[in-house]
Every structure is written in structure tokens, then in C-alpha cells.
Structure 1
Amino acid sequence: MTDTSEKLDYSKTLYLPQTEFPMRAGLPEKEPLAVARWQKMDLYRRLRETSAGREKFVLHDGPPYANGNIHIGHALNKVLKDVITRSFQMRGYDSNYVPGWDCHGLPIEWKIEEENYRAKGKAKPDLKEPAAMVAFRQECRAYAEKWIKVQGEEFQRLGVVGDFKNPYLTMSFHAESRIAGELLKFATSGQLYRGSKPVMWSVVERTALAEAEVEYQDYESDTIWVKFPVESAGDQDVAHGDVLDAHVVIWTTTPWTIPGNRAVNFSPRVSYGLYEVTAAENDFGPQPGEKLIFADALAEESEAKAKVKLNKLRGVSAEELGSLTLAHPFEGLGGGYEFPVPMLAGDHVTDDAGTGFVHTSPSHGREDFDAWMDAVAELEKRGIDTRLPFPVDDAGFYTKDAPGFGPDREGGAARVIDDNGKKGDANKVVIDELIERNALFARGRLKHSYPHSWRSKKPIIFRNTPQWFVYMDKELGDGTTLRSRALKAIDDTRFVPAAGQTRLRSMIEERPDWVLSRQRAWGVPIAVFADADGTVLLDEAVNQRILDAFEKEGADAWFAEGARERFLGSRANEPWTQVMDILDVWFDSGSTHTFTLEDRPDLKWPADVYLEGSDQHRGWFHSSLLESCGTRGRAPYDTVVTHGFTMDEEGRKMSKSLGNTVVPQDVIKQSGADILRLWVVTTDYWEDQRLGKNVLQTNIDAYRKLRNTIRWMLGTLAHDEGDVVPVKEMPELEQLMLHRLAELDEVVRTGYDAFEFKRVTRALLDFMVVELSAFYFDIRKDALYCDAPSSIRRKAAMQVVRHLFDRLVTWLAPMLPFTMEEAWLERYPQSESVHLEQFRDTPVDWKNDALAEKWRNIKQVRRVVTGALEIERAKKTIGSSLEAAPAVHIADAELRAALDGVDLAEISITSGISISDKPAPSGAFAIEDVKGVGVVFAPASGTKCARSWRYTDDVGSDPEFPDVSARDAEALHELRALGRL
């Protein structure tokens, strides 16, 4: 036979990886092409077609606000939602994602005023005119439409797939009709009422605010200690006449609320005393001889504040305090403060700060209002007028209910807060008047946490004003209240993480009645008619006309010329007033389940999952819960998933002023959306996460390893001929890999079910980098590249790589949709999309725990061998592990038995190996945690095969291929017979 070895380029006889899947991802350039392809093929529609008839899984989208480009919080939120919907879609569900937008509200009004009027020097139209109101609302609608389009494109650039052609919008005519209809359900069931109570009020925005619209910031307040003179001790006048010339001292951080004072609260749990001033060093305030009542625990602190010396005369009991009636410190001013000021017991009073007495202004505080209302019946028996005053108007000015400070004041009414959110002169004029009347005990300043509007970032006030409310505790005819229904619904809901349940429950337990009305222009109106007493007209015909008009024309119909007569019809001559307040936008978003989940046939009610940031426990989760419980008796969701907020790498809140913001558009432009998505799914997203240059680089490095693993599989599968080897006929190493796939299948499915994406990605990344690239692929490269076409080992390995690819790529597709789509289409160019695939089922015969335990022992021995070779490589004794044939001493019988039938040289990637049961000699390499194994290095013997580079003793045994091993010569003969040489 003629020697043909010199004529052959052996590299061309190997099954080396061949793929056009590049190592360099180029995501910023490729991803937009993928988005365009998905849109052209209408991937969303194809998903619906292929999943028709399956069980539905619905994640209901919490609507972002249609105002400005998306930020990193939006990106985190939408990626998480996309991963969930895709993962359920690929596990046999019809997992339909319908994006939505919150379109109403003040921020858009502000933008229209700023851009369309102030910037152009134009006056804002008079919105009391119907035509002007409708035109202004249409400007707001157009503004929202612009940003919906922009945000929709940005979400799709993140890889999000959903019904972006037909999203839900709170400003669609159908939605506005349904929102109004939900409000009418509350009215019809008697849960809606008009009441007068203190609400959080933004002077800057001229509207009431809900708790969800408020954030707390540091704020410096004036603090004052005020003396209220004791006017009467009731039945105790004779027994305790020494208190009749005393003063009860209160402390407050809101001096401007003193004109609204109607009572002073104390606590029966606090110890109080009657004190006398013995010395004073102050410009104003108490003087020697004055008698004052304090909480004993706070007397010393109060003494220091007023620069006086106090001597305790005696204790004052709760019973005695309850019998006292005080005079208002402004008695005689403007003729408006001549009412008695009762002392009331209150659970909210403590002796932690102040004086142990709480100045109670029921028009300016929630706890004050509750304490006052709890005492109304008793106070009325005592002949006390319990009607609440309205001391401050919507612009922050004192009214006639604050005599001496309102319109009757020389120079005009004092103001609490101005249009820019700055302090007005109210505190000053009140303090000056207290000093003038010798009613001020002390004053100071305090920096503390104070509520601000989250939109304007300006401080708010509590202000008594007529508003529309929903009862939390009214019995609803079935023995439940809205509060009890909501609490039960929380107990019936799954929370991820579980702490969300406790948080939402505590909010519902403590929340006051729901304030629904807002003094705005852009939104769904409180579309009811009411009489002078606040009684709502309940007329089905009127209500139906309203809803029909909203369905056809939108909520603008409520503000159009002649709307009252149109809707009231024959009742137009009756004294019904058309309510012009706007609904709280949280009621809008809380009602989205009605016009999406209930009204769309491609969805279902209730939703399987709601997912939003943890702030939505007081926002969307909260309002959706109350709305649904009030109208349907249960929550509109089965599971609530929450995520935290994104901080910079040092754990600081991102802000433009600090220059530490991460803009998702910049990350996508520089690195690609899949890098951003990889960050999302590798974080503990339910906590606050960190993001910055270093964090992104960590994810880029991890992505590169993952991509290279996929690239190698694609290159290897270029030679796949689809051979199938029965599992039991495979080498143990292949059986081990199938077992690991079976284990991972459970981890992946369980992780996706639990919304624990970090658990899934960590398991897959570790598997790909540690068990595949550094172990299985490393070992099997020789067989896959060099074995003959007929080799069972090669066929089995190829079959396993096939299974690995199909499973890993589909498992990763929900998280890295761009990269996995690219890889899938490279492997299956005739396929439409990886996202139309399903996770592969795992055959039962893949699981083999006994084999896995055996290979855990084999890997222990291999670890010692490879450790010894690394030392020789570092010493440059060898360049490749194939140059070695070490002696392995295994004293441990269990480890030695595990190697039965296993080629340790093949597993260790050496050209030879010898195994001995004798103890390792002195100097042998060992690893402390692998007992009884020692390795002595020895170079490989024989000749290096020119094709496989292994050192063997049979190189040249085939005279036709004198420079290759017998195994490689056999492969060459087969390749020639197949015409591949």
C-alpha cells in the first residue's frame, strides 16, 4: 500500500467545529434586526396561534405613566415581566402579555401648561368653560399618545414581546367608560360618600393626594410649646382649685394649625404633674409663679427649652385631666375662639417627645380627626359644637374660620405654603400672636421627615375639605367590610417575596377611608350627580346614558356643553349638582383588571400574577385590591411579585445631581439589551439591586463565557448526522450528562415557577462553564474531533451535545431572547423562532442517581490528577496534559472501585495513566480534602500521533498512515471509504 500520509492535511480530516455564529456578539447591531424580524413575522400573533386552546397564564401589566423616556426601573420591571411570560409560554401555557399605560393625571397637565402655554407666553384657558376644558383635555390626550408610542418602542427594544399593537390605555374610550362604571358600582352599593375630613393637600398642585402620591423627605419645621389656660375643672373645681390658674402645655411642629385647635389629647398611660416656675431666664415665655402641667418624663426637657426652673407640686391623674376644660390661647381674637377646648384621652399620645399633650386640630390631621370623631357623642352631650372648621383654603391661605389670620387680618390672609412650595407667613404671624398673648412657652426648630408630593417634590399640608371617599369599614350587607374583604384577600394571595404580604396587610389595617376626588382636569370624572347634602342620585337610566356616552365619546362627554341636561334627561329640573371632581388616578389603574382581564377574550380574570416595585404595596397592588374587593369581593390577582429599586454600585440612590444614573438606552447602545437582561436575571431583584460599570462588566464577562459555550456546541453540531444511541448503550460519561440535564430540568422549571431567575441562571451558567466547557467538552473533544464516523462514543457524544443545545438554548430563551434566537436560527435555519418552541421533556431513563454518585468519586480523583498536571505545566515540564502519563495511588477502596470500567487517562486528558492501590510515596501531589489519593508525575511514553496529538505505542502500526495511532488510522480508512478524504 502506498504511503499517503505526506499528501494529507490531518486538520482537514478532523471534525473540527464549524459555525458562522461569531464569538463577538455585536448585540447593539444585531438586536434591532431581530426586533424588526419579530415585528415583520408578527411573533406575538404566531405565539397566540400556536398556543390556542392551552391553559391561560396571565401576568397583568401594571401601567407605567405615559410621560417621558423609560428609565432603569422601567427596564428592570419590563424584563422581569417578559421573562415570566416567555417562560410560561415555553412550558405549555398560552401566556399572553398585554402592555398597558396609565394616561391621566397631573404631570401631563403640568407639561401641557408648561409647553403649550407658559413657554409660549399664553394664558391657561378658563377650564370652567366647557369648550376650553374639552380642548385642554384633548391636548393632554395627544401628549400621552406621543409618549405611549416612544415607550412602546423602547420596551420592544428591550426584547419584550406583547400586544403592542393593541395595548390597554386608561384613556381609551372603553376604559374610561369602565372606570366610570366601577365608580358607579361603589355609589350604588353605598360605599361612596361625600365627607369633610383632613386630607393630604398639595397647595402647589391644588389637589388632594393619596398616600401613594406622597414621599417623605427631610424638612425643617418651626416647633412651639404653647400654653392653654385651664378654664374649668368640672366637679373637681373645689378639690383641685390649684389647677384653675394653671396651663396645659402642648408641643407642635405645625404652628399654623393652632387656629384650628379644638381639643388637647392626653394619655392615661402617661404620668403627669403640676409644676411651678421658680426662675426664668428668657425674653418671652413663662415667669416665676406660673403653674404648668407636663408629662413627668418631659418636664426636664421642657424646662431647658424655655430656660426656666420648675418645681413639681403634685401629680395629676388621668381622671383629673379628663375633667379639665381649657380656653383657646387666641380667645378674644376676632371673636372666633370663645369655645371650650376639652381634654380628651387618646391612644396616639406618648411621652417620647414634646410635653405629653397633643394639640388636636381635627381639620389638619388624621389622628386628630379620629380622636375628635371618637369623642363627638360625648362632646355633644356637654354642649360643645363639634362641627369642623375650614381654616385653610386650597391655595394655603387662612379663611374666615381662622379669625385674626384670614381675610379680616390687616394686610390680608396669612398663608401656610405658597405656589412654589415655600413656607408662607402663617407660622410667623401665629407665633407672634402667641408671644403677644403670653401664650408661648418656648420655640425651636426641628429637622424631621415630612410628607411631600412625589410629583412636585414640595411639602404638603393636611387640610379639612369636602371630598369624595369610599368607606373602609361600612358593613356591605354580607357581614363584611371593604377592609375585612381586603385583609382576607391578602391572606389568600401568594406573595413573592413573602414579606410583601405583611407589608400590604399592615397598610390595609391602618389606612383611612379612600379619598377618590382630585381637583384636576385630565382624568375620568367622578361621574355622579349629588344633592346639597352629598346624597348621590341612583338612577339606572341616568347612569346608563353616562356610560354609553363615555364608550362612544370618552370622558370628555362629561365636560361638554349641555352635559348635565343630556345625562339627567327628564330629571334636569331637579336640584342635582353635577360633580366635576376627577377620580384619583390610582382608581384608574386599580380598575385596569376590569377592561383588560375581564373584557379581553384572550385574557382571564383574575390574573395569575401582578408584578411591580415594592412601592406599589401602597400603589397599584393596593388600589387594585380595594377596587376589586369593593366590587367583586376578592383580589384581581392570585400572586403578587415585587422587586426592589436600582441603586448605584455604592448603594446610593441614583440621581442626575449625583451623576450616578444608568440609562438603559445607553447600556443597550454600548453592550446590548441581552447584557442588561442578564444583569436583571442574575440579581436578587426582590431586594434593591446595584448597577454600574463594574457590575455590567461582570455580566459582559459571564455572557462571553456563555456565548462561547453555545458557539462550540453549534460548531460541533455542524457535523451532526442525527444518529441515536440508546441511553443504556452510551458511555457512562454521556449517561452522566443526561442525568445532569434531568436534574437541571427540575431546577429550571421549579425556578421559573418560583420566579427565582437568579437560581436558574446561576445553575445554567455554572453548568455551562464548569461542567461543560471545563469538563465534558474538554474530555470529549478528542472523540468528537478524531473518532471514526462509526464510533459509538462519538455518536453518543454528538447526541448528548444535541440534547444539551436544545435544552440550554430554550431554557435561556426567556432571559436572553436575542442571543438564543440567533443561536437557534443558526442551528435550525428553517425554524421560525426559538420563542415558538417548548422546553423539551425529560425521558425518565435519563435520571441515574447511582451513576451520579459514582462520578462524584471519579471527579474527586480527576481533580487530584489535574492539580498535579497544573504544577508541571507551570514548571513548563509539559505544555499539554497529553504529554503526561502520571501514576495515581488510590488507597481509598471506594474511590478505586468507582474507576472500574472507566478510562481515567481519557477522563484526565492524558496519554496514559497507571493506578495503584499502594499508598502514595513521599512527595506525591495530594489535595487535603481528597483523602487517600496521591499523584506522581511521569511523562508520556510512545510516539505523538500527528492527527490526535496523543502519545501511544501504536503510532505507525498502519503502514499507510505511519505517523498516526491505530485509532486514527482506522478513522482515516472510514473517511476514505465514505469519500470524505
Structure 2
Amino acid sequence: MCAETPEYKTTLNLPKTDFPMRAGLPKREPVWLERWEKMGVYNQLREKAKAAPRKPFTLHDGPPYANGHLHIGHALNKTIKDMIVRSHQMMGNDARYIPGWDCHGLPIEWKIEEQYRKKGRDKDQVPINEFRAECRSFAAGWVDIQREEFKRLGVQGNWEKPYLTMDFHAERVIAEEFMKFLTNGTLYQGSKPVMWSPVEQTALAEAEVEYHDKDSFTIWVKFDVVGAADLEGAQVVIWTTTPWTIPSNKAVVYGAGISYGLYEVTGTPDECWLNVGDRYLLADNLAADVMGRGRLEEDQWTRVRDVTNEELETISLKHPFNGVEGGEGEWDDIRDFRAAEFVTDTEGTGFVHCAPSHGLEEYDLYRELGMLEQVITYNVNPDGRYRDDLPFFGGKAILKPNGKEGNANAAVIDKLVEVGGLLARGKIKHSYPHSWRSKAPVIYRNTPQWFAAIDRPVGDGQDTFGKTIRERALTEIDNVKWTPKSGRNRLHAMMEARPDWVLSRQRAWGVPLTCFTLKGKLPTDAEFLLRNDAVNKRIVEAFEAEGADAWYEEGAKERFLGGIVNPDDYDQVMDILDVWFDSGSTHAFTLRDREDGSDDGIADVYMEGTDQHRGWFHSSLLQSCGTYGRAPYRNVVTHGFTLDAKGMKMSKSIGNTIVPEKIIQQYGADILRLWVAQTDYTSDQRIGDEILKGTADSYRRLRNTMRYMLGSLPDFDASKAVAAEDMPELERLILHKLSLLDEVVRDGYARFDFQGVFRAIFDFATLDLSSFYFDIRKDALYCDGDTLRRLSALTVLDHLYSRLTTWLAPILPFTMEEVWLQRNGEDTSVHLIDFPETPSTWRDDALAARAETVRAVRRVVTGCLEEQRTAKVIGSSLEAAPVVYLNAELAAIITDPETFADLCITSQIKLVEGEGPADAFTLDDVKGVSVVFAKAEGQKCARSWKILPDVGTYSFPGVSKRCDEALREKGFNPSDFAV
């Protein structure tokens, strides 16, 4: 501590800075944002790279939907991206970031339809391009809103020229990319079951589906056995949770490796759909459960005998509605019965009902058998109602327009009861797919769609990476670096198992499938699709000038085909592309086509949430492998989901959501960014009031460290800077630690490990600096004149400042700008600066090893002093002059009592080689050291507060030799300080 004497206090080199203790971030951050925008910081960096070429580094932005305010997941996502870009820029790259937005697709279209419904308008009565214009306007409005919200987070990028999937050039390129699938032979039209939203009346991709618990009807249905004399009259029982698919049943399958038996009912309760003498074929492992579902007790049924696979091979079945009056022969065909690999005996009955129009496994089975024509039905309309002419069930709805349960399931169950086809029924709660937009359940529905074949050889001549899209993708996955590494396995497994890509959607707002089909031809015919370069050229030129609306203008078909082929011979496809094809193509019109894109069209980083393994990472890889034969990214970085403080998923209905805007209003964006940096973003993260308070506390501690440095540095004179090799050991130790930290910071930023970077810097700032170095050196900084010790300390503070400020700038851009401006001109910015190069000569492992030994001995001394302070023998460590006993090895290392006294913050210290007395203070984990407490001898220096024998013997009254010399150096006169 330093003297309170007013006269001497004015002579001390006390910290002086305008840097406030209270940050006031919510009010001050917008000022810095305005300043950066006025300065054009992002553009200055690009110009800097042109003047002195730097290695390009591009993070390609996964486009959010332009349809609502930001949530905490957006804040997490964009902050991580900004840290990646800023850190790589400051490590010497030309780090480019082009923000982007997904502007097409169901989320935006759904919003316009909601507006229509409120006004009583019918979307189908509105001219399509008028409807599309409203979608475009809606998206543009939200782009502007979200842009400002992202900028408020401190995210730096090319906000003036973002990429939008609805820009005319983007729509042109998306169409061009689609046409590559058209021309390379991977595009085809097929009819297969896809996830379908009856509410939205469109096919959905897996990434557009989320799973929620749903209560479903569950039924056990009887199929009469035919064709096997010994089993005539018996029935095969199936179990399903989708009763509405029974009218579309075409087969039942069994498992070749499952043990089956013939079971007979021997007694029944009062209310039951079973009769004495009924015989059922069931999997042995499931028979007891099925009989129990039929309300039978264990003594009311018996196992008659085994049923072998050879017998099963002879069986055919009748549909429960076979021959029913009024059925008009709809279900009178004999149903197929065969083995299938996907059947198990873990639940159900051991037999699986097959409606290949509504199930992928069944569809694939009969596709491989070449029997699709015999088993495909078209019983369900786009709105989820049965076709009107379906006997008994025509017009019945699987779901109502509001997404609630329709009357189809109940109608089918009632009919099964009526015809004696039901063994049992019930309800089950299970995880079921829902549309992420309407939140309504979806169904599998067979419908003609357009697909990209991922196992068909790609006819583009790029066979270096494999002949098929799947082969290319699987190869490329191993050429990409994944953070975390588990991302590789996740996407690889998905790519191995995924079906063909459903490209088409039955909607209006998007890029159309720009192709034509020849009338009178089947999709399997070679001439079915028009593949004509001249036609394609006309289309893309129109899209470049007018956007995709050109496809929907009256006379479009004649415009694009006229003079090349006869327009009357062709049908124009009116489906739009899956929005994941749009976003999957963004690399082409952003990385490839823009001057500020990537030089080779490949992004250095794609960074999104873990759900994008089935979303954007997935579709981008498929699209790029289909058209370029390689992945569009070198690194894929994944973050988890944001949960509340209790670890629960955030939900508006629960009321546990946290809006970024409110956090910024209360704490400031830098606190939100610091929360991101302190989390392991590769896993799910928690956020809440107490967590943010802890983050704010960490921020305050770090801010105080920076403030201390700023307060001392006004005295730094660069002309008096001390070379590292001439500094005392304590300063050289700090430089050594800085050199190690430099490696940690650069390596961490390169690996996108912001938690590791911040933890390393924070620990260094609070433990090595605030609690150690600053505590020791404040005496010299305050009281010394231009001594080597003080000048060295100031030089080290300058090195610390330049590194800590720049190292932390990617994480805390507002605060570090404030720190930077305290010492630099108004016409600069920390974000225009690179990380300083750290001399390799600063590293001194031998010194560091010696210092660890010295700090261990120091710990014994401070432990002894703390014991005396607790006993109220002393109040300050400056009152002490302990005697330190050291063994020979330690005595050879610690030789200077004055330097060691500085380290221990005591006025004096005595070093003795040898073993201390039995009652000396020791620590079990520090061998060879013992300390005997003694009070310092002499008087208290009125300026430094150290107690020394020579105080009062110099010209300046009441001070030590060190302070006397400092006062003379400053030009003071002893007569000015009367005692």
C-alpha cells in the first residue's frame, strides 16, 4: 500500500484513466456500432487485403428464414460465426462474411396464407404472381428487421449486400443448379410415399419435420387365411397405429426367422370380439400380449402347434372388407403374404400390415420385387381426405384443416367392428412426425414427386469422386474436418441410409422445377423429360432479368419453347423446389459468383446447429456433390441447442424463452457474447438469470484488469521501453507466459474453441496478473522512479495491453474497442488490427521451471503471514520480515532477499540455508521450506508504507532510500515536505 500522507500521495504514480468501472454497455454499444458503420470497418478490411494480399477465409452463412424476430438460438449462432470471422481476420487472413437469408418456402408462404384466412381470402383465387409478390414483400421486411437485430449483437459482415435466395440472380442460379440434375440423368419423376402435410397440402423433407408425442388409435385386425388346407379358417392378426391405412392394405408380411404358432380361443369373457374356437397365427413371443389385448385370461386360450415357414409360404389372405356388401369389389383381391426383413417380434403380433402407398419399407419391398403396379393405391387426396368414390369412407378426413383428428380412423374402426375384422383396439402415446411449421401431424402419402436419384451414375463426366451422388458424398465427408468429430459419423450414417432426394413441393413461393414433360410419355420413357440447352438458356436469362416469376407469367411455356420445340407437345411442371435445394445451392451464387466470395467456390467453414446434419449440411453436400462432384465446405462446425437454466427446451407455451433483445437491454451484447464464449457450444447450453449474473461477474473482473493496465500505461514512454533480455526475472516470467498464451489463443481460435481461448485468457488475467503480478508490482509502479524494475513493468504492461485487447476483441468487440480507444486515436479501431506477433525469444522454459519453485516457496511464506493476520498479530504483510529457511537446492535458486521480499509483498525478508526450528510454519506439499514469523524492524516509510531500518535518514523526511531517490528524480525539494 502507499502512504496516505497528502503531501507524499501527490508524488506517487497512481493509476489515472477515464476508463469507467461501470461499463454501461446497453447505452454505449449503439454508439460504437454507429462509429464502425461510419468508418466502414468491414470494407476497410477488404481494401486492406487488396493492398497487401492475405489468405482468403470464408465462413458461409447458413440462411435463417426471414419470418420473425430473433430467438436466443439465432444469437448463439451468429455470435459464434462472428467470433470465427473476427479471430481469423486478426490472425492474418482476409476473413469474409456475407450474411444470407432463406426467403422462399413454406414458413413465409404460410404467414401470407394466415393473413388471407383472417381476411377471408382464398389463396387459390389470387393470381399466383400477386401472391408471390406478397411473399417477397413479407420476406424483404423481415430481412431488414433481422439485419438490424443481428448487427446489434456486434456481428460484422457485408450487411449492405447480403445474399437472398429471392434475388433474381440467386433464383437464376438455383434454376441452373436444378437443370444440372435434369441434364446429368439423376432427375426423375416417381410415385412413392413421402411425408405429406394434409394441412399445408405439400410434401415435406425430413428437416421440415419435428417429433412430438401423439395419442393414436391402435388396432389388432384379423385377415382370413386362404390357400393352406391345414390352416383354413385361421386368421393372421396384424397391429397398426394408423387405422386409416387399412383401406389401402395390399399385403401382410412375416419374419422368416421368427417362431410362429397356431393359437385357439377356449373361453371368452362377457364382452369380447373373440369367439370360442377362433384360431389365430401369432408370433410366439407376442401371443400372450395379443390375447390379453383381446381381454382373454391365460386359461382362455391355448397354443395348438407350431406354424413353420414352409406353411407360411403357402398362405394367402383376404382383406377384412373382402366381399362386404357395398364394397363394390374394392377389397376382393387376394392379399399378398410373404417374408420381409423388417418384421420383428418385439411388439405387435409378428405380422406387419402393408400399405405400400403409405409406408417406405413396404414400398421399397415391392419396388425391389417389381410389383409396385399391383400394390400402389391412390386413396388419399392432397388435403388428407379419402377420394370421394372410395366405398364406405369417401370424403372422410384423416386430419381436419386445423390439424386435429379427423373422422377417417373412427370410420375404419367402426367398419372393422361391423364386419368382425377387429380383435382389439386401444390408444397409444408415441413419438410422431409433425410439420415444424403448422405443428400438425403428417402422414406418408403416395404421390407423384420429382426426385434426385442418389444411387444412379451421374452423367457429368466427374467420376473422380465416385459415380453416384451417394458415393461422392460419402467420400467427401472424410475430406472435411468436423467440429465436434461426432458430426462426421452422424452425417455419414445419414448419407449411407438416406433415400432419393424429394425435390418437389406443391406450393407457390419458391423457385420452380424448370422442366417440361412430353405429353403421352411415361416417366420411364427416355423422351419424357425435355433436355434442351437452348430452352434452358432462355429460362435462365429470363430469371436473371425478371426472377422466377417469369415461369408463372401467362404464355411462359410458349416463350421458353417456341421456335425450339412445339409447345403444344409439352406440359410445364408447376411444382416448386424443396427449399433445402435453395439453401443447398447458396454456395454457387454466393461463394462462386461474388467477388467477396471464395476464390475456389468452397467455404472454409459452415457453422450451424446440430439439427443441420439432416438439414443444411446435408442438402448442401448432396447438391454440391451432384453438380460439382465435391463438398462445398472444408470445415463443418456444429453447436447444440439452447436450454433454460433447468436444462429444459425453451417453449413459448411453457414461458421459459429468453429473448436476446431483453438480455441486451439489461446487460449489453458483450455479456451475451461472453456467455457464448464461456459455454461448450458443441453441446446443449443453458441460459438464465443466475447464469447471466455469473457471466456479468466474470466480465467485471476482466474489465477491472483492463482498467488497471490503462491506469498505469499513461506513464509508459516507448523510448524508454526495456528489452526483454534486460528485464528482471518476474517480467521475463510474464513474457514467457504471454508467449505460451499466444500459442493457446491462436490454436484455440483456429480450432473454433472459444471456451478454451477465453478460459485461458481469463485465468491468466485474474490469476497470473491481478492476483500475482499486479499485486507484486504495484509498489514499484506507484513508488519507483525510472528504475529498471518500473520501466520493465511498464513495458510488460504495454505488451499485455496490445495482446489482451486484440485477443479478446473477437469475443468482446464493444469493450475491447473502448479499451483500444483509451490509448489510440479516434480514427482507428481495434478491429482493423491483427494479433501482434510474439517473439519466440520470450519463451524461457528454464526460467518458468525456476519460477514455479519460487512461487511454491512464496506460498509457504504467504501461508505463514495469513496465519498471523488471522491471529491479528499483523494487519498488512508489509509489517512482516519473516525468516525463510531453505534446503541447499532451494537456497541456490532463491538468493536475493530484497527481490524475494518484493515477491512476498513484505518489507524485509531473511533467507537462511538450513533446517528451520521445529515450530516453524511449513506446508506438507512444499518440502525443504520453513518460515519463522518476525515483525519488520525500522520505521514506516511515509510514501511507500514499507517498514525499513533506513527510513528517516535521508533528505526527504520520513522516507526510505528508494523513495528519496524517486522524489529527487521527480524534481521535488525536501523542504516542501515538512514532517
Q: What TM-score comes out, normalization by structure 1 length? A: 0.95
Residues 542, 569 of structure 1: 8 Å contact kept: no
Aligned residue in 1 for 2:657: 661
Deviation of 1:977 (Å): 8.0
Aligned residue in 2 for 1:371: 365
Distance in structure 1 (CA, Å) of the matches to 2:630 and 2:308: 48
Distance in structure 2 (CA, Å) of the matches to 1:32 and 1:772: 31
Residues 282, 306 of structure 1: 8 Å contact kept: no
Amino acid at match of 1:704: R
Distance in structure 1 (CA, Å) of the matches to 2:730 and 2:91: 29
Aligned residue in 2 for 1:420: 402
Deviates further, 46-55 or 899-908: 899-908
Quote the RMSD (CA, aligned, Å).
Answer: 1.8
After superposition, residues 525-536 of structure 1 pair within 5 angstroms as 525-532=512-519, 533-534=522-523, 535-536=528-529
Report whether the alignment pairs 1:783 with 2:780: yes
Task: Name which of 550, 559, 564 aligns with 2:552.
Answer: 559
Aligned residue in 2 for 1:331: 322
Amino acid at match of 2:686: R
Report whether the alignment pairs 1:486 with 2:468: no
Distance in structure 2 (CA, Å) of the matches to 1:295 and 1:8: 97
Task: Name which of 12, 25, 28 aligns with 1:27.
Answer: 25
Aligned residue in 1 for 2:122: 124
Aligned residue in 1 for 2:746: 749
Deviation of 1:524 (Å): 0.8
Amino acid at match of 1:947: R
Amino acid at match of 1:448: H
Residues 57, 93 of structure 2: 8 Å contact kept: yes
Report whether the alignment pairs 1:344 with 2:342: no
Aligned residue in 2 for 1:236: none
Aligned residue in 2 for 1:409: none
Report whether the alignment pairs 1:446 with 2:428: yes
Deviation of 1:822 (Å): 0.5
Report whether the alignment pairs 1:857 with 2:848: no
Aligned residue in 2 for 1:520: 507
Aligned residue in 1 for 2:454: 472
Distance in structure 2 (CA, Å) of the matches to 1:879 and 1:245: 100
Report whether the alignment pairs 1:305 with 2:298: no
What is the SS of the residue equivalent to 2:475?
helix
Residues 884, 911 of structure 2: 8 Å contact kept: yes
Residues 284, 440 of structure 1: 8 Å contact kept: no
Distance in structure 2 (CA, Å) of the matches to 1:401 and 1:92: 70
Deviation of 1:359 (Å): 0.4
Distance in structure 2 (CA, Å) of the matches to 1:320 and 1:481: 42
Deviation of 1:247 (Å): 1.1
Distance in structure 2 (CA, Å) of the matches to 1:943 and 1:186: 90
1:844-873: CA deviation from partner (whole Å, max 9, x where unpaired): 210000000000011111112112222322
Task: Name which of 386, 390, 396 aligns with 2:378.
Answer: 390
Aligned residue in 1 for 2:961: 966
Report whether the alignment pairs 1:277 with 2:241: no
Report whether the alignment pairs 1:817 with 2:813: yes
Give the share of equivalent positions with the same residue, in percent: 56
Distance in structure 2 (CA, Å) of the matches to 1:659 and 1:865: 54
Report whether the alignment pairs 1:316 with 2:297: no
Amino acid at match of 1:147: W
Residues 885, 915 of structure 2: 8 Å contact kept: yes
**Structure 1's 7 and 212: CA in aligned 2 closer, same or farther, altered over 3 A?**
closer
Amino acid at match of 1:228: F
Deviation of 1:901 (Å): 4.0
Deviates further, 284-293 or 726-735: 284-293
Residues 113, 123 of structure 2: 8 Å contact kept: no
Deviation of 1:831 (Å): 5.1
What is the SS of the residue equivalent to 1:297?
coil
Deviation of 1:125 (Å): 4.3
Distance in structure 2 (CA, Å) of the matches to 1:187 and 1:349: 37
Distance in structure 2 (CA, Å) of the matches to 1:261 and 1:400: 18
What is the SS of the residue equivalent to 1:343?
strand
Amino acid at match of 1:83: M
Residues 5, 942 of structure 2: 8 Å contact kept: no
After superposition, residues 677-696 of structure 1 pair within 5 angstroms as 677-696=673-692
Report whether the alignment pairs 1:583 with 2:581: no
Amino acid at match of 1:581: D
Deviation of 1:737 (Å): 0.5
Distance in structure 1 (CA, Å) of the matches to 2:574 and 2:176: 16
Aligned residue in 1 for 2:838: 842
After superposition, residues 181-330 of structure 1 pair within 5 angstroms as 181-233=176-228, 241-281=229-269, 283-308=271-296, 309-330=300-321
Deviates further, 101-110 or 72-81: 101-110
Report whether the alignment pairs 1:508 with 2:507: no
Residues 213, 431 of structure 2: 8 Å contact kept: yes
Deviation of 1:476 (Å): 2.2
Distance in structure 2 (CA, Å) of the matches to 1:831 and 1:758: 32
Distance in structure 1 (CA, Å) of the matches to 2:973 and 2:592: 64
What is the SS of the residue equivalent to 2:921?
coil
1:597-653: CA deviation from partner (whole Å, max 9, x where unpaired): 000122212101100000000000010010001111111001110000111111011
1:165-185: CA deviation from partner (whole Å, max 9, x where unpaired): 000000000000100111111
What is the SS of the residue equivalent to 1:216?
strand
Q: What TM-score comes out, normalization by structure 2 length? A: 0.95
Report whether the alignment pairs 1:110 with 2:110: yes
Deviation of 1:7 (Å): 11
Amino acid at match of 2:945: W
Point out where structure 1 has 5 or more consecutive residues left out of the alignment: 234-240, 407-412
Aligned residue in 2 for 1:712: 708
What is the SS of the residue equivalent to 1:773?
helix
Amino acid at match of 1:720: F
Amino acid at match of 1:760: V
Amino acid at match of 2:940: K
Aligned residue in 1 for 2:910: 914
Aligned length: 949
Report whether the alignment pairs 1:652 with 2:648: yes
Distance in structure 1 (CA, Å) of the matches to 2:390 and 2:928: 91
Point out where structure 2 has 5 or more consecutive residues left out of the alignment: none
1:18-69: CA deviation from partner (whole Å, max 9, x where unpaired): 1111111111111000000000111110111112221101110000110111
**Structure 1's 874 and 276: CA in aligned 2 closer, same or farther, altered over 3 A?**
same
Residues 224, 252 of structure 1: 8 Å contact kept: yes
Task: Name which of 731, 736, 740 aligns with 2:737.
Answer: 740
Aligned residue in 2 for 1:90: 90
